Amino acid sequence: MESYEDLLKRARAALPEKTLSNERFEPPVAEIMMQGNKTLIRNFDAICQKLRREPALLSKYMGRELAVPATLDGGKLVLHGKKYERQISEKLGNFISAFVICKECKRPDTKLVESGGVRTLVCEACGARAPAR
């Protein structure tokens, strides 16, 4: 016979998780433009807004990962070197999985908390915490 606890557990598991919205997270796509020896991400601001991350953090990450200086120019990111769209999307994807997506529930509703030089990814949907690097 099923215990009351088991019943309760089963009922809970059957409930739709209404705190989570069902809309799928669409990762932003970088709009690339070549300008001489530079590669511009034209919609950089929009990407940062969508990911809710500081432009400075993402620009530093892109510069480091792509091994070129990266500077912000208005809402654009200027990469001082020729980079292919494929490379940029790959790095952007890596950034999103490391600094945006929750490791537990795979949702993007997270924030970065920094303390003592250590970054922690805190999920606003499920409460999970994980070091971000």
- Summarize as ranges the residues that interact with Zn ion (CB under 5 A): 102, 104-105, 123, 125-126, 128
DSSP string, 56-88: HHHHHHHHHHHTS-EEEETTEEEESS---HHHH
**Which lies closer to Zn ion via its Cβ, residue 80 or residue 129?**
129
The CB-of-35 to Zn ion minimum distance in angstroms stands at: 39
User: What's the closest the beta carbon of residue 17 comes to Zn ion, in angstroms?
Assistant: 11
Nearer to Zn ion, 13 or 67 (CB): 13
**Neighbour order of strands in the sheet with 129-131:** 110-115, 118-123, 129-131
Q: How far is the CB of 104 from Zn ion (least distance, A)?
A: 4
Q: Which is nearer to Zn ion, 16 or 116 (CB)?
A: 16
d(CA 118, CA 115) in angstroms, rounded, equals 5
